[in-house]
Structure 1
Amino acid sequence: MSILQLKKATLIGLAESKPQILDALQSLGSLHIIPLAQQKKRPQPLLVDINSEQLSTVLGYLLGCSHKRRQVLSERHFDLVDVVRTTEKNRAERLQLLERREFLKKRIKDLKPWGSFGFPEHGELFDQRLWFYLVPNYRMNEVAKITLPWSIVHRDNRHSYVAVIAPDEPQVSLMPVQRTHTGAVPLDALVVELEDIEIAIETAEAERQALTRWIYALQLSEAGIGDQDALKKVNEQTLDRGEVFAIQGWVATQEIARLEAFAQKQSLVLQLSDPETDETPPTLLSNPAELAGGEEVVSFFQTPGYKGWDPSRVVFFSFVGFFALIMSDAGYSLMLALILMFYWRQMSLTQTGRRLRAMGVALSVAGFVWGVMVGSYFGASPPFAWLASFKVMDLHDFESMMKLSICIGAGHLILGNLMMAWVKRHTNQAYASLGWASAVVVGLSGWLQGIHSLHWVGFAAALLLVVVYSGQSKAWSLKRFLEGLLALTNVTKMFGDILSYLRLFALGLASASLAITFNQLAVDVATALPAIGLLFKVLILITGHLLNFVLTVVSGVIHGLRLNLIEFYNWSLADEGYAFQRFSKQEVTPWIT
């Protein structure tokens, strides 16, 4: 198990030293605080004129800049208020400029067919005015019937650009379409303004790039505000009684020694106790760095209960295996590895990034190994003769691949039920989970070897365990029997969940077939067009395989997670918990570009 055991820790100290003790406790970062008093709702700004929402917006704006400057690690020249105000001003101005540019581009595009013109002053045309209409060519016969003077300024294959002279706007019924509003600014002036806007946008973008040098300093400020906010929140959750105060929280047994040393150094009274039977401590997962990517997946979907088990490692290996089976191509796995190498440094900046990076390495390696085993390299045969000897599976051998997928699904759900039985080992319901696992084993054996009478006996005995031990009531009763019969209806669910693993074979075959199709299409085009066909062949190969690669990765992620987090979770996890939240200071990793 990788769910750490927790103890309830109570610290008691002098009220006069409370601010210093809480700050030191936050630096220690070992406790999940248990509120002893209700927090008061008194939102107060922590920094003058700057709040966390502003900092978050400013940081998001600067992080979105494609080209970032070298970070300033020293805070000697950093003025938080000035940087935030300058960035907010730059962001607002740049947004206005971008909106104006889009408007000008559209207006210029609409005015180009009319040409560049300026409206005459009032009275120059004897009180006559120009009115413009964009008329479909097939309706020009209706324009020819009007009595007002008009002229076609421009014509394309769809529309005629008609200018009408009249003192007042013609009635709607007179013209076949609504009037086109061209605006009073000439086309030449709009083009000049667009050029000025482009220059202004470049200037704003240069200023934005210059401001990116303060990203690390802003992140430190944001972390500082977050730390102060957390400190203020915990300060209101302590129990204050005259000259002393008490703070309580959960601590992992592995960190008790650090907490005892801290209490001795701060002259605090420390009391440790085990969780009560009716208490639900938070869940603190602990996994090796190489396998912690599974922990990220598990925490994202559902945190297991404290008294349950940690499926992180099972999810890690099963997801990696499922992804490899769906990808089923060594070439695509190498592409995934190249993408991972491109983002390698960027992913090292955060703990989550490092964990997912390790999982990405596992996905690439497993996908490559399986791709070699099925002999698929961008949908083609092995490029070297010695690689062909490693091909041991054929994706087009439907019977073998279906058996493999169903065996994987059955094994996955058997493991899930065995883990459920282990979690419920102190209750009779553990036998129900063993019954389900036994039913799957017997059913799979009968399917692979042929059903005999012993299989029916074993299957019936397994389901009898389900009926007898699925009820929550300890004493034998009609209610317990009915609960067992109700649980028995999950037979069809178990059958459907196992068959759901056929998607591993189906998606892998679809990916390989699509790659082969693109290869054949490229060869056919090159053969049909001897000269330019080579160019089309390259374009088809690049476009087709990129599209197939994206579809394969998306399918691998979605369906690989689905089989773990839906089918597997349904049979392996009983209770949902809540995550262990450390009372600690935020860490910011500096990065240089």
Structure 2
Amino acid sequence: MIVPMLKYTFLVYHREYEDFLIELCRLGVVHIAERNVEVSDKIKKKYTKLSAYKKAINFLEKREVKTPHKTKDSSAQELICDVARKQKELEELEVQLESLNKMALKAQPWGNYSPELIEQLKNEGINLLFFSTAKKKYTEIEEAGHPVVVISETGNQVVFVFIQQNEQNVNIEAEPIELPPLPYSVLENQIHEAAEKIKAINETLDSYANNSIYVLEAEKTKLIRSLKFDNVLRNTEKEAEEKLMILEGWVPQSKTPALNRFLQDSDAVYFSRKAKPDDKIPVLLKNNRYSKLFEPIGSMFSLPDYAELDLTVFFAPFFMLFFGFCLGDAGYGLLFLIGGGLYKLIAKPQFKPYLSLIQFLGAATILFGIISGTFFGINLIETNFTLTNKIRHLFLNPDKMFNLALILGALQIIFGLFLKAANQTKQFGFSYALSTYGWLVILIGSICYVVLSRAEFIPKNTTILYLIIALGGFFVLFFSDPGVNVFARVGKGIWDLYSTITGIFGDLLSYIRLFALGLSSAILGFVINDIGLQILGSSKILGPVFFVVFLLLGHTLNILISSLGSFVHPMRLTFVEFYKNAGFKGGGEEYNPFGMNDKCNNKL
């Protein structure tokens, strides 16, 4: 449910405005209405500074510091500059070290030669030319009497030097190679120096991570608070030679009594009104304990627009069932249910809602595991268990599970159309929902006719079906857009017929993924059990040990992989198929009150 909002306008004398804002911040109920005002350079600099603090904090928090390090006391500005500088130095040194290691690897076969000696020989008319060739070929070159000396041998490859005197002709079959620019010993020293510098920088950064993050966090919080006040001032209109301050904001209807009490005791003039259709209204959701667990899932796509319905309470049961269908193993669901409950005992309060969500998803998984007859990869339909013999006929085989996926999909699509009609009625009026109701007449009427005629409750008379389609089609064709003339309505209605018919069939087929994912999860579990049984029979002593280890690893991986798919695909069905058929527009702005979770003692 979307909480109703009221728009407040405050008129405050400029000398009292600072104290007024501090009290407003302490209340933490007013979402400041944004004006189309350009952001000043001063505020932009603060945002840049805030970004730098966040980046430094994230960088330091990722460091795994095992031992404490001492550090000198520094201001936040000194810390942020030093962290940024050392981070840059560290990146440059790591690139340099990688390059030096590559050079050292190439220079190692050459040993610790002297570049100065090579240059002296060159001045005396003696050139050293370096080659690489196979060992057999080198033997032939050596036997031919060429002045060559081996430098190194690696496997079948020989690196050697040809001593050229007085620019004599060199005619040997070998691959010429370049001498490394620096000898190995020099590179070793440079590698050591770079490694020592990296170590020193890491020790300094570790000390900051251990002892100085709180300084950066405090400054970040101060900056955020300052920017919130700046945002209020930026959205304050100044009148009467800047002596009258005018501020507008949105307040949830349920929180207005506390605000009104404060305003009555202050000297501010104020008035409030209900939201208008063209207002940019923030959205605050209020759902029951069950539906609230699914709000983070819905927010991954978008918050609803203030004027439309909040679909959280409507998609929550479907999402839970779809997750259970995709995972579809009663044993896995039991682990979710028990594991979530046990972890709640030690978890922090902010994580407990997520654990409750996991428990609900686990309960749905148990349900569909029972329906499909799957328990830790064991197929209860084909396995001869005494406990399940009497109820084996109640389990659904793959064909029936396939049909169940389509039935659930059809139910969600039709339910979405009902919600679309309700949304259209709420936003535009009943006449704008008649086209959607026409589709509901066609779909529900056709389904009822087919079911009842096959059950022989009504005679098989296609005239009845044609009448149902004609009635629904009338509303679709002539009420697709009541705001335009009849010819435009018919044109839009024809397009609506084409797009909806093709769209609904495509949407319905998308729900086959529920069956496919459930089947794949069950097959993987079955394969793990089958391989495990083969391991069990391989050895009387080690067989049982490896059997248990393999089952634990195999089913753990299956749970992780299948759970990911079981979460992503129902989310896709919700955001694409269900939201589309429910006419979800979205794009709502989150309710973010001024001063929420902030200390407001600071002056402006």
TM-score by length of 1: 0.80
1:61 Cα deviation from its structure 2 partner: 0.5
How big is each residue's C-alpha offset from its partner over 1:444-498, in whole Å with a ceiling of 9 and x where there is no partner?
4566677643672475146425524542135761211221121111112112211
| CA distance, structure 2, for counterparts of residue 251 and residue 172 of structure 1 | 91
Say if 1:459 and 1:356 are closer, same or farther in 2 by CA, change over 3 A. farther
- Mapped contact 1:227–1:586 kept (Cα < 8 A): no
- Which residue does 2:437 correspond to in 1? 434
- Which residue does 2:585 correspond to in 1? 575
- Mapped contact 2:476–2:493 kept (Cα < 8 A): yes
| CA distance, structure 2, for counterparts of residue 388 and residue 27 of structure 1 | 62
- Which residue does 1:255 correspond to in 2? 255
- Mapped contact 1:283–1:577 kept (Cα < 8 A): no
Counterpart secondary structure, 2:159: strand
1:60 Cα deviation from its structure 2 partner: 0.9
Q: In structure 2, what residue type is equivalent to 1:464?
A: G
- Mapped contact 2:372–2:401 kept (Cα < 8 A): no
- Mapped contact 2:283–2:305 kept (Cα < 8 A): yes
1:33 Cα deviation from its structure 2 partner: 2.1
Is 138-147 or 252-261 further displaced after alignment?
A: 138-147
- Which residue does 1:73 correspond to in 2? none
Is 327-336 or 412-421 further displaced after alignment?
A: 327-336
| CA distance, structure 2, for counterparts of residue 550 and residue 365 of structure 1 | 17
- Which residue does 1:58 correspond to in 2? 56
1:534 Cα deviation from its structure 2 partner: 7.6
Counterpart secondary structure, 2:291: coil
Counterpart secondary structure, 2:24: helix
Counterpart secondary structure, 1:247: strand
How big is each residue's C-alpha offset from its partner over 1:213-257, in whole Å with a ceiling of 9 and x where there is no partner?
443443332132122112212202211113211101222111111
Counterpart secondary structure, 1:286: coil
1:107 Cα deviation from its structure 2 partner: 4.7
Larger of the two Rg values belongs to structure: 2
- Which residue does 1:218 correspond to in 2? 216
- Mapped contact 1:219–1:588 kept (Cα < 8 A): no
How big is each residue's C-alpha offset from its partner over 1:183-220, in whole Å with a ceiling of 9 and x where there is no partner?
5242x666676677666656554544432344344333
Is 310-319 or 80-89 further displaced after alignment?
A: 80-89
Counterpart secondary structure, 1:291: helix
| CA distance, structure 1, for counterparts of residue 57 and residue 137 of structure 2 | 55
Check if 1:12 corresponds to 2:33: no
Q: In structure 2, what residue type is equivalent to 1:488?
A: L
Check if 1:472 corresponds to 2:469: no
1:280 Cα deviation from its structure 2 partner: 4.5
| CA distance, structure 2, for counterparts of residue 368 and residue 588 of structure 1 | 43
Say if 1:178 and 1:522 are closer, same or farther in 2 by CA, change over 3 A. farther
Is 404-413 or 272-281 further displaced after alignment?
A: 272-281
Counterpart secondary structure, 1:262: helix
1:39-438 pair list within 5 angstroms? 39-44=38-43, 51-67=49-65, 79-107=75-103, 114=109, 116-119=111-114, 121-123=116-118, 127-129=126-128, 131=130, 133=132, 149=148, 151=150, 153-156=152-155, 160=157, 162-166=159-163, 179=177, 182-186=180-184, 204-212=201-209, 213-242=211-240, 243-288=243-288, 290-333=290-333, 348=348, 356-380=354-378, 388=388, 397-425=397-425, 426-438=429-441
Check if 1:484 corresponds to 2:493: yes
Counterpart secondary structure, 1:472: coil
1:510-525 pair list within 5 angstroms? 510-524=520-534
- Mapped contact 1:373–1:391 kept (Cα < 8 A): no
How big is each residue's C-alpha offset from its partner over 1:93-141, in whole Å with a ceiling of 9 and x where there is no partner?
44345434544554555566x37544464247674446365x6899999
| CA distance, structure 2, for counterparts of residue 365 and residue 345 of structure 1 | 19
| CA distance, structure 1, for counterparts of residue 140 and residue 267 of structure 2 | 96
- Which residue does 2:26 correspond to in 1? 27
Counterpart secondary structure, 2:270: strand
- Mapped contact 1:8–1:274 kept (Cα < 8 A): yes
1:585 Cα deviation from its structure 2 partner: 3.3
Q: In structure 2, what residue type is equivalent to 1:471?
A: S
| CA distance, structure 1, for counterparts of residue 596 and residue 496 of structure 2 | 47
Q: In structure 2, what residue type is equivalent to 1:429?
A: Y
Counterpart secondary structure, 1:43: helix
- Which residue does 2:602 correspond to in 1? none
How big is each residue's C-alpha offset from its partner over 1:272-314, in whole Å with a ceiling of 9 and x where there is no partner?
1122344342332223455334222222312222111001123
| CA distance, structure 1, for counterparts of residue 169 and residue 292 of structure 2 | 73
| CA distance, structure 2, for counterparts of residue 66 and residue 356 of structure 1 | 27
| CA distance, structure 2, for counterparts of residue 531 and residue 170 of structure 1 | 76
Check if 1:453 corresponds to 2:452: no
Counterpart secondary structure, 1:12: strand
Say if 1:525 and 1:264 are closer, same or farther in 2 by CA, change over 3 A. same
Counterpart secondary structure, 2:264: helix
- Which residue does 1:557 correspond to in 2? 567
How big is each residue's C-alpha offset from its partner over 1:56-107, in whole Å with a ceiling of 9 and x where there is no partner?
111110121234899xxxxxx7732343344334434443454345445545
Of 499, 506, 516, the residue aligned with 2:509 is 499
Q: In structure 2, what residue type is equivalent to 1:399?
A: D
1:320 Cα deviation from its structure 2 partner: 2.4
Say if 1:586 and 1:311 are closer, same or farther in 2 by CA, change over 3 A. same
- Mapped contact 2:324–2:361 kept (Cα < 8 A): yes
- Mapped contact 1:37–1:238 kept (Cα < 8 A): no
| CA distance, structure 2, for counterparts of residue 172 and residue 8 of structure 1 | 92
Say if 1:409 and 1:81 are closer, same or farther in 2 by CA, change over 3 A. same
Structure 1: gaps (5+ residues) = 71-76
How big is each residue's C-alpha offset from its partner over 1:476-531, in whole Å with a ceiling of 9 and x where there is no partner?
61211221121111112112211210110011101221232243345446657889
Q: In structure 2, what residue type is equivalent to 1:258?
A: A
- Mapped contact 2:322–2:514 kept (Cα < 8 A): yes
| CA distance, structure 2, for counterparts of residue 380 and residue 137 of structure 1 | 62
Say if 1:161 and 1:16 are closer, same or farther in 2 by CA, change over 3 A. farther
| CA distance, structure 2, for counterparts of residue 104 and residue 468 of structure 1 | 75
Structure 2: gaps (5+ residues) = 455-459, 600-604
| CA distance, structure 2, for counterparts of residue 403 and residue 323 of structure 1 | 17
Say if 1:300 and 1:176 are closer, same or farther in 2 by CA, change over 3 A. farther
Identity of aligned residues (%): 20
1:563 Cα deviation from its structure 2 partner: 0.1
- Mapped contact 1:308–1:573 kept (Cα < 8 A): no
| CA distance, structure 2, for counterparts of residue 578 and residue 502 of structure 1 | 31
| CA distance, structure 1, for counterparts of residue 346 and residue 158 of structure 2 | 54
Say if 1:534 and 1:37 are closer, same or farther in 2 by CA, change over 3 A. closer
Counterpart secondary structure, 1:413: helix
